Amino acid sequence: MSAGKPNMGRKLSRKSSYVFENGQIPGYVHMIRQASRTSSMVSRTTDPEPRESYGSPRVSRLWKETRQPRTPATPEPPDVDERTPLLLGKTPKKPDTRSDEEAKAESVLADLRKELEMDSHKISLDELYTRLETNPENGLSNRQAELHQSKYGMNLLTPPKETPEWIKFARNLLGGFAILMWIGAFLCFAAFAVQNATKPDAPKDYLYLGIVLASVVLISGLFSYYQEAKSSRIMDSFKKLVPQHAQVIREGSQLSVCVTELAVGDVVELTYGDRIPADIRLIESFGLKVDNSALTGESEAVARSAECTHDNPLETKNLVFFSTSAIEGTGKGIVVNVGDKTLMGRIAGLASRLESSQTPIAREMDHFVHIISSVAIFFGVLFFIISVAMGYSWLDSAVFLIGIIVANVPEGLLATVTVCLALTAKRMASKNCLVKHLEAVETLGSVSVICSDKTGTLTQNKMSMSRMWYNGKMHAVERPDDPDNEGLSKIIVGDPEFMALATVARLCSRAHFKVGQVGIPDALREVVGDATESAILKRMETLLGNVEQYRFRNKKVCEIPFNSTNKYQASVHCNKSDCGSHFLLAMKGAPEKIIEQCSTILINGETKELDEQCKAEFKAAYEELGARGERVIGFCDYRLPPEEFPEGHLFNTENPEFMSFTFRFVGLISLIDPPRVNVPNAVRTCRSAGIKVVMVTGDHPLTAKAIARQVGIISPGNKTLDELAATQGVPVSDLDPSQVKVAVIHGSELIDMDEEELDAIIRNFDELVFARTSPQQKLQIVEGFQRQGTCVAVTGDGVNDSPALKKADIGISMGITGSDVSKEAADMILLDDNFASIVTGVEEGRLIFDNLKKCVFYTLTDNISELTPFFLFILARIPLPLGTISILCIDLGTDVVPAVSLAYEKGESDIMRRSPRNPLKDNLVTKQLISYAYGQIGMIESFAGMLTYFVIMSENGFLPLKLLGLRSQWDAQQINDLEDSFGQEWTYEQRKRLENTCSAAYFVSIVVCQWANLIISKTRRVSIFKKGMTNWVLNFALIFETALACVLIYTPGMDVALKMMPLRVHWWLPALPFAILIFVYDEIRRLIIRKFPGSWVEEEFYY
Amino acid sequence: MGTEAEPQSKVNNNPIYPKKPIEENTWGDFIWNSRTGQVFGRTGTSWAKIFIFYVVFYAGLAAFAGLCYYLFSLTLRLDQPKWILGDSIIGTNPGVGFRPMPDQEENSGSSLIWYRRENEADAAVWYNQLANYTDAIENPEEVDSLQTCSYDNGLRATEIKSCFVDTKQFGTCNKNNAFGYRSGEPCFLIKLNRIFGWEPEPFGLNKRGQYDPDLLLEDLDRQKNLPDSLRKYITDGVKSNIDPSKFLDTIWISCTGENVNDKETLGPVNYWPRPGIPGYFFPYYKQLGYQSPFIFVQFLKPLTSVLINIECRAWAKNIIYDKIDRLGSVHFELMID
């Protein structure tokens, strides 16, 4: 965004050498051009169940084939594996018409847009050791480690290239109106130089003015540079990373090494709780589970082992990735990639290489600066030509040009806008929206699409129990009153059926609370264990309390841990509670596995035969939960017969004899990563504000769809094509896709789409969910929306979101859970991770846009009243009514505080009820605004100023007719006796004093008119009597403006410093009728706009 | 989640998807768009409407402003400025004027009187200016309100009457002599600026207009840079005159070279009729046909081919000299080739 073109080239050429370097390591990391889809097709047949889990329906292939609803639009090609698209990306080849440098840069970007290809996980371990010159026992030698560090680089992510400070500073000195102002200053110096050359004792006015103009540019440049620097400092607070250490084996001994010093080939030991320090191939795993949610968006932990299970690096079990975290177990592995070459490094690289587009407000400001500059240049050149043609000297003409430029440029406006944005940014920060750069404040107000990540953004990224099924009924665990849970039974603690399920749930679990957490509410206590078990444990603790003690009473005597073949976990407890001591078997696992193991079921407190009807009920419940995208776990128990298992029986865990029994089924528990509490409301507000909320997630389509329904991204009544087909009982192909408004698009479908198809989907469906998307595809989706001309916001917290965050018009990351990469790529950070804060952001953004419009209107209005004196000076040849310094006093003095105070205005109507602005039509500065500000209000102010001018001239002896054509004599220094209408003769200095008095009076009359202008700027539509004067900052500004004007006029010495002269009190009055006129005139305009919508007046003068 | 009937189901399901701007809106199209018949972005009727609106608007606005000015002008007087003397910005400190003066249109900011002695046309520019000025004085349009004033007859300017300027007292500075320009002894007309109601406070006169020798010395001592010749002229005049109070009722005028060099190159100066303007010409009340009193200074032997900076000053107790603001003085340059 900020990097200039030459920089970009340098940055990318550095990167391209990296590609070359990789090319030199044969077979190490290939950029295989062939789409990995081929490999996934091959792997599909040999691929065992790709992920261990408790066999939720979405994992069970058998189940999936009968149940898995196909998403509409394009039926999923049968040969594509469910999970592979994560690694697939498509980069449409574009015609290459660029220069070599650019083409190179493009190709690096294109490579990054593709997926990582590597074979380090596929080759045999021996081959890997040879390649990396390491061995599993002794690790690398220190020398080799150093060698590898220099060869493959340090284990660091290259920070995004920063624009040098002086370039930032220079940009601030040359941006906006600065160029025009420099021209003005230059002309002043030139005029002074010419004058000085011809006459040694020439007045230093132009030197003085030139210095003032130059300082104005310098100061406002410094100011915006300071603002920029201030907001970038906010980000530095996020950068303080705690240095982390990794356990490494080098030269045969284990040592703790700073993560950054990790080298390729290092043997690393991993323990639960660690952040994975690099991309690592596992050689040993003891129940190691990693949380890949930062990369994939899936919140459940996945098990990792030493076997290569998949060609696809992301799917194979023997790779763990940088920045993910180990949740459970321990392991050992070889570092295969470090730093920028890790999977996360590539994504981060992609993100930092993308140029994010200009913010809408920056576009608007540019547009505005262009308009005003064009006007200034137009008038400047026009009057230069006119004055030369009228016979003025070149010097005079150049001096007129200075005046016109100074009058035309709203010197203080850009700083005012910055202050307004900064105020809003501050207000938003207090509402937990931290804005990284000021312009992003407004961007949220213009978004029409929010692409939201699911995990951690819409949801809590925390498993939680959702439902329990027992006694043949579905029970809601949380919020039984929620409409979503309508028709479900309530849990009654103490029911024997519930207690049976709860007993198994409490006992058959390895999760436990961390010790030493006394007095902390259950919900906040930290748990050690996997997400599912932790969720159950916590819920049981809140429902029943004191799980630890219960477990202590029912000691575990034997345990069969979970494995992916059995898909269950069982434990035996000595149950001493009732009817003597006996052993209780508690077992949980994939529901279909559990039900197979059962012959009875607990219904109404009785153990019944598990008949077909019960099985059907079970299946229905299981399917229902599965369709909700929830993870379902089955539970059963069995009281081991005391005859065969007497007290003190020693169990054999290797080949447990009790597995030959059949058990009693007690129920199902389903878990889901639930939506955050405020999200449904926030989504509703966004939608009523005309913003389309789209879910883009790496997670499973069913889960995605379920959450989308829960949070309202999919409206309650709306069905997807296949759901419609299911209800109508017809095949999907028979239905017209245009009937439905909802689509859940699978990442694998995206692969086959070209831009046009994606665009068609984006246009045709109102409610969209993209599931199983890779980081590259998220980017594609964002680009798709941007192609439609919409302003896109992306929310996300994971590394996988960062390219999309960067590409989006505004990227929003999460302050608590967000990864550093995503925070780096984002423009805004939600400190409380609350999606609902976005609504605040949208509201503030829209408000600030409205208020900026008012602010611009207010400031632009007096431009014309500053300009007319010059026109009359040149054309009517009257003495100058308004001096250049006075103009600066208005633009940089009295106008500033009132303009800023408009930022505190409250919205006029419910801004969250209207559609987002159309970036092509609803500009900050419109034709109507210019016409009304310049043509009408500005002209009224001009008349007020000119009237005041003539009044003062008349009172001092120069009647208006005398003034016409008087300019050249008036300004002639040698004329020491210029006659007025009453025959008095004025010296040059006396005339100038009169002129300066007029200038001060003109200044005052602008101030007086600006009172009225400020009040009318408060509202664009409603009457001021309805709107009220409750903006106290604005009321203060009115007083401040007046006080400042008094200080400028009446302070002794101002006649020398600013050429301001003290005024008689009644010289404030001539402008008053015009101020009243402005007020009344605008009230009438607004009345017409309200009464006659669509009328000519609205069309022409509603800005 | 709500049902269909709830207000949130009225969500905007069709957010605007603005199409990309079609690349056909060129500058040419902006000036004249044949498809829509728009000229500069508006159709003919649209232009007409907005034009009529603005004509009406500005007419109304101008009428409003005109009315305001008319109402205001009722507070003005026709016979005198609303504010005079200290109330007016012109103040109470008159400036000094000189003739001839370079044309401000051609030569803005310049106060150089330059001519070649041999070149008749050069000199004519200057002496014709003076001739025109004196001609207007000699043939006044209005005579009823003018009277011949002198120290002897005691007539002074009143609210309705003012004094003739006698053009016969200027010696060689006359039209026939081309005001000395041809002969290299140029005359300059020096006058005091008119300020409505301003009266001089001459040196050496007390509040009642009586001569006070001590006061005179005190007044003269108080003036910085008072040329010795002028001082001598005044002190001598007081001695030789029967009624020094009449002699002293004068605004004294002196013209000198600005710097030491200029003083040398300027040479001797002659004042016609004397180095001062009689006080009886004041005050100025916009009397009909009022003639500004003036004197002539003649530079008798200015060095040729040298630029001479000349400063003329007016002297009275209530004339405060300010070189930067050019009050009580005037500056011009002379160069004869």
CA distance linking residue A341 with residue A21, whole number of Å: 11
Residues in chain B within 8 Å Cβ distance of A1077: 64
A153-187, pLDDT tens digit by residue?
888 777 767 777 888 888 888 877 888 889 889 98
The pLDDT score that the predictor gives to residue A86 is 35
pLDDT at A33: 31
The pLDDT, as a whole number, for residue A149 is: 84
Using a CB-CB distance cutoff of 8 angstroms, which residues of chain B are in contact with residue A936?
57
Q: Name the band, by pLDDT with cuts 50, 70 and 90, for residue A4.
A: very low
pTM for this model (two decimals):
0.80
For residue A1028, is pLDDT > 90?
no
pLDDT at position A1018, please?
A: 92
Q: How confident is the model at residue A943 (pLDDT cuts 50, 70, 90)?
A: very high
Please judge whether A987 and B3 are an interchain contact, meaning their C-beta atoms are less than 8 angstroms apart: no
For chain B, positions 253-292, list CB contacts with chain A under 8 A.
Answer: 284, 286, 290, 292
Instruction: Give the separation between CA A444 and CA A830, rounded to whole angstroms.
Output: 13
Model confidence pLDDT, tens digit, residues A1042-1063: 999 999 999 998 888 888 888 9
Mean pLDDT score, B155-166: 88
pLDDT one-digit tens code per residue, A387-399: 888 888 888 788 8
Strand pairing report for A302-303 and A279-291: antiparallel
Asked whether the predicted pLDDT for residue A532 surpasses 80, the reply is yes
Q: Find all residues with CB under 8 Å of A257, minimum gap 6, and list them.
A: A245, A246, A247, A248, A250, A266
CA atoms within 13 A on the CB side of A561: 7
CB of A842 closer than 8 Å to CB of A445: yes
Could you tell me the pLDDT band of residue B27, with boundaries at 50, 70 and 90? low
Q: How close, in Å, is residue B305 to chain A by CA atoms?
A: 19
On chain A, the residues whose CB falls within 8 A of the CB of B110 are 974
Under the banding of pLDDT at 50, 70 and 90, the label for residue A960 is: very high
Q: What is the pLDDT of residues B40-74, one digit of tens each?
A: 778 888 889 999 999 999 999 999 999 999 999 99
pLDDT score, position A160: 67
Judged by average pLDDT, the poorest of A3-7, A446-450, A951-955, B148-152 is A3-7
Q: Measured between alpha carbons, how far is A300 from A829 in angstroms, rounded to an integer?
A: 24
Q: By mean pLDDT, which of A108-117, A450-459, A688-697, B323-332 is the weakest? A: A108-117
Mean pLDDT calculated for residue range A699-712:
86
Q: Tell me the chain A residues in contact with residue B102 when contact means C-beta distances shorter than 8 Å.
A: 974
* Angle (nearest 5°) at CA B133 between B127 and B136: 140
Query: What DSSP designation does A484 have?
Result: G
| 8 Å CB contact between A46 and A13 | no
The two counts, helices (H) then strands (E), for chain B are: 7, 13
pLDDT digits (tens, 9 = 90+) for A640-654: 887 777 777 777 777
C-alpha dist (Å) from residue A170 to A264, A415, A483, A836: 42, 16, 58, 39
Confidence category of residue B205, pLDDT binned at 50, 70, 90 = confident
B residues 233-252 lying closer than 8 A (beta carbon) to A:
none
Rounded-to-integer distance, Cα A897 and Cα A639, Å: 80
Residue A789 near chain B (CB below 8 Å): yes
A945, A868 Cβ separation under 8 angstroms: yes
Q: What is the pLDDT of residue B329?
A: 87
Residue A527: strand pairing partners: A513
Give the C-alpha distances (Å, rounded to integers) separating A979 from A122, A367, A955, B97: 102, 49, 15, 11
- pLDDT over threshold 80, residue B324: no
Mean pLDDT of chain B: 84
Beta carbons within 10 angstroms of residue A97's beta carbon? 7
pLDDT at A914: 84
**Residue type present at position B48:** A
Q: Specify the residue for token string 């029912």.
A: A554
A643: its two tokens: 């005859």
**Is 90 exceeded by the pLDDT of residue A945?**
yes
Residues of A in contact with B324 (CB under 8 A): 989
pLDDT score of A277: 86
CA dihedral A644, A645, A650, A651 (to 10 degrees): 80
Q: A36 vs B135, which has greater pLDDT? A: B135
Pairing, β B146-147 against β B187-192: unpaired
Contact B76, B297 (CB under 8 A): no
B74 — contact with chain A (CB < 8 Å)?
no
How many Å from the N-terminal Cα to the C-terminal Cα in chain B? Answer: 102
A-B contacts at Cβ under 8 angstroms = 198
d(CA A427, CA A422): 9
Chain A touched by B189 (CB under 8 Å): no
Structure tokens of A874?
């040149």
Residue A68: is its pLDDT beyond 50?
Answer: no
pLDDT at position A459 over 60:
yes
Is residue A288 scored above 90 in pLDDT?
no
| CB-CB under 8 Å, B104 with A972 | yes
Q: How many angstroms away from the CA of A916 is the closest CA of chain B?
A: 8
Tell me whether A947 touches chain B (CB under 8 Å): yes
Partner B, chain A 439-468, Cβ-Cβ below 8 Å: 448-449
| DSSP code at position B164 | -
- CA angle centred on A838, ends A835 and A840, rounded to 5°: 125
- Given CB atoms, is B152 within the 8 Å cutoff of chain A? no
Q: Can you tell me the mean pLDDT for A41-70? A: 33
Tell me the two tokens of residue A185: 């200053």
Question: Mean pLDDT, chain A, as a whole number?
Answer: 80
What is the structure's pLDDT at A339?
82
Could you say which of A716, A916, A947 has the minimum Cβ distance to residue B69? A947
DSSP assignment string, A651-694: P-SSS-GGGGS-EEEEEEEEEE-PBPTTHHHHHHHHHHTT-EEE
The Cα–Cα gap between B56 and A709 comes to: 59
Name chain A contacts of B2, Cβ cutoff 8 Å. 684, 716
What is the pLDDT at residue B23?
Answer: 46
Q: How many CB atoms sit inside 10 A of residue A521's CB?
A: 8
Q: What percent of chain A has pLDDT over 70?
A: 85
Residue A826 has pLDDT above 80, yes or no: yes
User: Who contacts A268 (Cβ-Cβ below 8 Å, separation ≥6)?
Assistant: A246, A247, A248, A249, A262, A277, A278, A280, A332, A333, A334, A335
> Over 80: is that where the pLDDT of B131 sits?
yes
- For tokens 């941007």, the residue is A786
Q: Which of A416-420, A482-486, A493-497, B285-289 has the lowest mean pLDDT?
A: A482-486
What is the average pLDDT across A298-324?
A: 80
Strands (E), A551-655: 556-560, 568-575, 582-589, 598-603, 606-609, 631-640
- Give the burial string for A530-563 (b: 16+ CB within 10 Å, else e): bbbbbbbbbbbbebbeebeebbeebebbbbbebe
For A888-909, write each residue's pLDDT tens digit: 899 888 999 999 999 999 887 7
DSSP code string of A724-780: HHHHHTS-GGGS-GGG--EEEEEHHHHHT--HHHHHHHHHH-SEEEEES--HHHHHH
Average pLDDT over residues B184-203: 91
Under an 8 A CB cutoff, do B95 and A918 touch?
no
Which of the given ranges, A83-97, A263-277, B26-40, has the highest pLDDT on average?
A263-277
What is the rounded distance in angstroms from the CA atom of residue B14 to the CA atom of residue A915? Answer: 9
Which residues of A are known catalytic residues?
A: 453
Q: What is the mean pLDDT of residues B246-270?
A: 90
pLDDT attached to residue A372: 87
Q: Calculate mean pLDDT across residues A801-805.
A: 85
Q: Which residues contact A529 (CB under 8 A, 6 or more apart)?
A: A328, A509, A510, A511, A512, A537
* Residue that wins the pLDDT comparison between A333 and A655: A333
Mean pLDDT of A748-772: 87
Residue B87's contacts (CB-CB under 8 Å, 6 or more residues apart) are none
Q: What is the mean pLDDT of residues A273-279?
A: 83
User: What is the average per-residue pLDDT within A197-218?
Assistant: 81
- Record: contact A766-B14, CB cut-off 8 A: yes
Buried b / exposed e along B22-37 (16+ C-beta atoms within 10 A): eeeeeeeeeeebeeee
How far CA A80 is from CA of A35, A37, A45, A46, in Å, comes to: 13, 8, 11, 14
Is residue A771 within 8 A of residue A707, CB to CB? The reply is: no
Per-residue CA distances from A150 to A251, A338, A642, A942 (Å):
18, 12, 67, 71
CB spacing of A951 vs B72 below 8 angstroms = yes
Which of B3, B6, B14, B16 is best to mutate for the A interface (most A CBs within 10 A)? B16
Percent of chain B topping pLDDT 70: 89
Q: What distance in Å separates the CA atoms of residue A500 and residue A910, rounded to the nearest whole number?
A: 54
Q: Which of A244-248, A519-523, A808-812 has the highest mean pLDDT?
A: A808-812
B294 strand-pairing partners: B191
Q: Do residues A934 and A863 make contact, with C-beta atoms less than 8 angstroms apart?
A: yes
Distance from CA of B113 to the nearest CA of A (A): 11
pLDDT digits over A593-637, tens only?
898 889 899 888 888 888 888 889 898 998 888 888 788 999 998
